[in-house]
Amino acid sequence: MSDQDIKTIAQSVLGAELNELECQALSEITSQRSLKKDEILFREGASDDQLYVLVTGKIDVIKNYGQKDETVMATLKPGALAGELSFIDGEPHSMTLKSRAESEVIILHRADFEKLIDTHPTAVYHVMRAILRASHKLQRELNTRFMEMNRFVTNQYM
């Protein structure tokens, strides 16, 4: 892996608590993928064992992609994680991710990551904590949106 790959990991959400050696170990098991505008990263209902970290660009999170009730739920920006729940529990993705612009993602496969448990257990702990923090952040944002929407609806009908 190049110094740039290690730097990319270190500056990502995953590398926030990792030392240089741990960033190097992680960079050795990750790959990068470039997405063209409007390219699908993964589809709702599909299963994979990959965690994605958006490095550059923007990616739309879409519910019911290609259907009449298609809805863009959010737009991911650099630093965001994607596919984290499927990465952890193996369940199918609940939404489709499509690039809004040319984008670059880091990809981490679960099986490769699990091999680090024996050689870099602290790195595994820190990466899992980063995933949990990102999930909590998303949950707080969704709770805030729900509360704002609830207040709006309640005020409309009172």
pLDDT in tens, 104-127: 999 999 999 999 999 999 999 999
Check: CB of residue 44 under 8 Å from CB of residue 61.
Answer: no
The chain-wide mean pLDDT, for the chain, equals 89
Please give the structure tokens belonging to residue 48: 């994979």
Please give the structure tokens belonging to residue 150: 């609830």
Fold category of 30-156 in CATH? Jelly Rolls (2.60.120)
pTM of the model: 0.85
Quote the CA–CA distance of 125 and 30 in Å, as a whole number.
Answer: 17
Quote the CA–CA distance of 144 and 139 in Å, as a whole number.
Answer: 9
Q: Is a pLDDT exceeding 90 seen at residue 11? A: no
Would you say the C-alpha torsion 94, 145, 80, 113 has a positive or negative sign? negative
Please give the structure tokens belonging to residue 66: 């290609």
Domain map of the chain by residue range?
Answer: 30-156
In the chain, which ranges are continuous DSSP H helix?
A: 3-11, 20-28, 84-89, 110-114, 116-119, 121-156
Quote the CA–CA distance of 52 and 31 in Å, as a whole number.
Answer: 10
Picking from 4-8, 78-82, 121-125, which range would have the lowest pLDDT averaged per residue? Answer: 4-8
Strand-pair partners of 75:
60
Quote the CA–CA distance of 96 and 61 in Å, as a whole number.
Answer: 6
